[in-house]
Amino acid sequence: MKSKSTFETQVPCLCRTGYLIVFFFISSFSFSQPITSITQSNIPIIIIDPGNVEIPNDPKIEASFKIIAPDIEGFYSYNRPSFTNTYQYEGKIGIEIRGNTSTEWPKKSYGFETHDAVGATIDVSLFGMPAESDWVLNACYGDKSFIREVLAQQMFRQTGRYAPRTQYVEVFLQTSGAMTYMGVYIFMEKVKRGTDRISMKKLAETDSDPAKITGGFLLQVGEDEPEKWTSNISPNNDPNNPKPIYHVEYPKLEKYTNLTNKALQFNYIKGFVTDFETAVNGSNFKDATVGYRKYLDLDSMVDYLLLQEFTKNSDNWRASTFFYKKRNDEGGLLNMGAPWDFDKSMGNQQWCYELSVLPTGSWAWKFNTYCPGRPPLTVSWPEKILNDCYFVQKLVTRYKQLRLTVWSYANVQSFVEAQSQLLMSKNAINRNFTKWQTLETGIMFNEHYTLAGNTPQKEVDYLKIWLLRHLAWMDTNIATITTTDCSTALPVTYKNFQANKEGGNVVISWMTTSESNNSRFEIQRSKDGILFSKIGMVEGRGESDNEVKYQFADSNPIVGLNYYRLNQIDLDGSEELTRTIGVNFEIPSTSPYLYPNPATNEINLKDLTPGSLITIMDGNGRVLIKTTANDPELNVSVKNLSNQVYYLTIDDKKKVKSFTFIINN
């Protein structure tokens, strides 16, 4: 993405009785302080030297790229005057400025490719991320918490889908003849096709086979780039409004010299998206055979739409919106993602209506309703699809499942706090705001945000409170995310649902008090509460107004904690997931085992090999507790852990035994 005039600069004028309040957004905040060395940082340090040449917006220029190596304690130091630094990576890159409105800010974001010694693109693994060549340094100038982008990507990964991996870094840049400290950045993977990014088969310039050109496309909404087309559908059904633009991000059709194959590929994907939009806006759009479901992967749409509502992202559906299509032999449907660009989310940017920045009162997908003439306007998809109760039911069920597990507020708050501590503990965030003195400057317009006396901690506190209020509001209102009445879409009323260990089985039992068009129940099991698989089926009553008891025995439970849920399937194929429940199926006493599970203040380990190393990690892989067992039994205090899923390993030097347990205070 290069700089385009997609967004107009916001200089809002707010009128109040007797007063005229004007907010100016200034682009000259760089009160540079001469930070020439860092004695200790807990986040990596990057050094970029383009040879005293100013980095342009386009094209990329060559530069050297270095990552400081950590010391034996895992900390990073940079000593410019003595040049005593050691590096964990050194190489060449091609680098350019990237962004839209952010290009007008003094702290620039950059996109770069890793190069070999002669300037050819090479794949490199950086910060433990899978080897690739395309990367982004996100300046995060507009989000003073530095957390929104990282949190949004983490929440989407928690759904089991790809989102760009992130890493906080501090950056030094050779500019104007001196090595200049540029502050904290978010090092990120660029959204692209790749084995470890958006995984789908390649599409090459030589491909003209009709079967091959059915997929391999990565597309984007709102970017006025080459190889684009304009939608036939007007936002808000108003032909006077500018229509959305779509462009092909991959393959790079603008570089093709075979114009015949270029036209074949472009016309195919344009035709497919056009057919999808026609179906979405057609009279039979709800029909499973001829409606929008023929073109769209619903589960990906559910997770993507929920993320945009979780973050209340005012940019999405109109810009920074990626979607892709795999080949027909890979499924052939449009998928939403990967997510991108969340600085204008979670209460950080007020657009043309007050509710856009408040945690309650409105849905992000309704941008066009509140800003009917504000370009670029959103695509028509969410508004139309949310009129289909089949989709709404899947959305509501999925939201409840996520909130019970990986999107619980305990998990969200824990992640936000961990990022905050990472940035504050060795003063990285303070160094950033010494360089860029913006804490009391209105970068993003927000009439509900107090800048006077602002601090990094206040930024984090504001975000945490906003998330708490917003998620609570979503919990209450998710069933009414649409004005379409879908109250009759849920065909089964449950009285109870439980799982109990009985001998060598886990018995799952439930009771319904009413059923309508109920075909069957799928019993699903998971070892981590995230990825579920079907283990059985029980036929439903169809129609019933009486209490009906059901039971299913899992005769082969997982050793340790088992998670269960029901997937109720209607006669017309509609589905509804229950909440998730868990039961611990204890392992034989001849091996180490853990109890109680769920735990409150402590966990107990038995039948250990003395000398075993015990490690407890959270869902992000962060080590929280590490200790050694000197006896066959060990009690471990977990009273300071929050309510979520944890992972415990026992390493006795011969084998490693793994457990999953949950805290339920």
pLDDT tens digits for range 515-533: 888 888 999 998 877 678 8
Tokens of 102: 């952010």
First to last CA, the chain: 47
Tokens of 459: 């930024």
163 class by beta-carbon count within 10 Å (0-12 exposed, 13-18 middle, 19+ buried)? buried
Strands 166-175 and 45-49: parallel
**Main-chain phi, psi angles of 596, to 5 degrees:** -75, 165
In the predicted model, what is the mean pLDDT of residues 2-27?
A: 36
Residues with Cβ within 8 Å of 461's Cβ and at least 6 positions away in sequence, in order, are: none
Domains delineated in the chain = 13-194+408-476 (no CATH), 212-404 (no CATH), 490-584 (2.60.40.10), 587-662 (2.60.40.3080)
Please report which confidence band the pLDDT of residue 655 belongs to, taking 50, 70 and 90 as the band edges. low
- The Cα–Cα gap between 200 and 375 comes to 32
pLDDT value at 12 more than 60: no
The string of pLDDT tens digits covering residues 30-74 is: 444 568 788 899 999 999 999 989 999 989 999 999 999 999 999
Residues with Cβ within 8 Å of 427's Cβ and at least 6 positions away in sequence, in order, are: 41
pLDDT of the residue at 658: 65
Whether 315 and 339 have beta carbons less than 8 Å apart is answered as: no
Alpha helices for 405-517 (secondary structure H): 409-424, 428-435, 456-477
CB half-sphere exposure, 447, CA atoms < 13 A:
15
pLDDT of the residue at 27: 37
What's the DSSP call for residue 647? E
Compare 9 and 519 and report the one with higher pLDDT: 519
Residues in a beta bridge with 167: 187
- The Cα–Cα gap between 481 and 470 comes to 14
pLDDT value at 140 more than 50: yes
Please report which confidence band the pLDDT of residue 536 belongs to, taking 50, 70 and 90 as the band edges. confident
In the predicted model, what is the mean pLDDT of residues 174-178?
A: 83
Please report which confidence band the pLDDT of residue 502 belongs to, taking 50, 70 and 90 as the band edges. confident
| Percent residues over pLDDT 90 in the chain | 54
The string of pLDDT tens digits covering residues 328-379 is: 999 999 999 999 999 999 999 998 889 999 999 999 999 888 888 777 888 9
pLDDT of the residue at 368: 85
Provide the CA 16 distance to its chain's centre, in angstroms.
38
pLDDT of the residue at 562: 87
Determine the residue type at 94: G
The string of pLDDT tens digits covering residues 445-470 is: 888 888 889 999 999 999 999 999 99
Please report which confidence band the pLDDT of residue 150 belongs to, taking 50, 70 and 90 as the band edges. very high
pLDDT of the residue at 253: 96
Please report which confidence band the pLDDT of residue 9 belongs to, taking 50, 70 and 90 as the band edges. very low
Tokens of 502: 């009985």
Alpha helices for 177-327 (secondary structure H): 259-280, 298-311
pLDDT value at 6 more than 50: no
Whether 404 and 579 have beta carbons less than 8 Å apart is answered as: yes
- The Cα–Cα gap between 621 and 613 comes to 17
Whether 164 and 191 have beta carbons less than 8 Å apart is answered as: yes
Q: Mutual orientation of helices 456-477 and 389-404 as an angle, nearest 10°?
A: 130
Residue with the two structure tokens 């449009």: 334
**Mean pLDDT of the chain, nearest integer:** 87
Please report which confidence band the pLDDT of residue 203 belongs to, taking 50, 70 and 90 as the band edges. very high
- The Cα–Cα gap between 141 and 103 comes to 10
Compare 488 and 201 and report the one with higher pLDDT: 201
- The Cα–Cα gap between 412 and 50 comes to 39
| Cα 484-488-492 angle, rounded to 5 deg | 140
pLDDT of the residue at 590: 47
What's the DSSP call for residue 220? E
Residue 665: CB atoms within 10 A of its CB come to 12
Whether 33 and 439 have beta carbons less than 8 Å apart is answered as: no
Find the range with the poorest average confidence among 153-162, 211-220, 292-301, 544-553. Answer: 544-553
pLDDT of the residue at 23: 36
pLDDT of the residue at 47: 95
Residues with Cβ within 8 Å of 421's Cβ and at least 6 positions away in sequence, in order, are: none
Q: Which of 233-242, 292-301, 444-453, 530-539 has the highest mean pLDDT?
A: 292-301
Query: What one-character-per-residue DSSP string does 165-181 give?
Result: -EEEEEEEEEETTEEEE
- The Cα–Cα gap between 424 and 456 comes to 8
Whether 365 and 305 have beta carbons less than 8 Å apart is answered as: yes
pLDDT value at 22 more than 70: no
pLDDT value at 214 more than 90: yes
- The Cα–Cα gap between 382 and 433 comes to 39
The string of pLDDT tens digits covering residues 573-601 is: 777 888 778 888 875 544 567 778 778 88
Please report, for residues 146, 440, 442, 453, 470, the alpha-carbon distance to residue 29 in angstroms, rounded to integers and kept in the order given. 18, 11, 11, 17, 32
- The Cα–Cα gap between 628 and 648 comes to 13
Residue with the two structure tokens 């928690």: 158
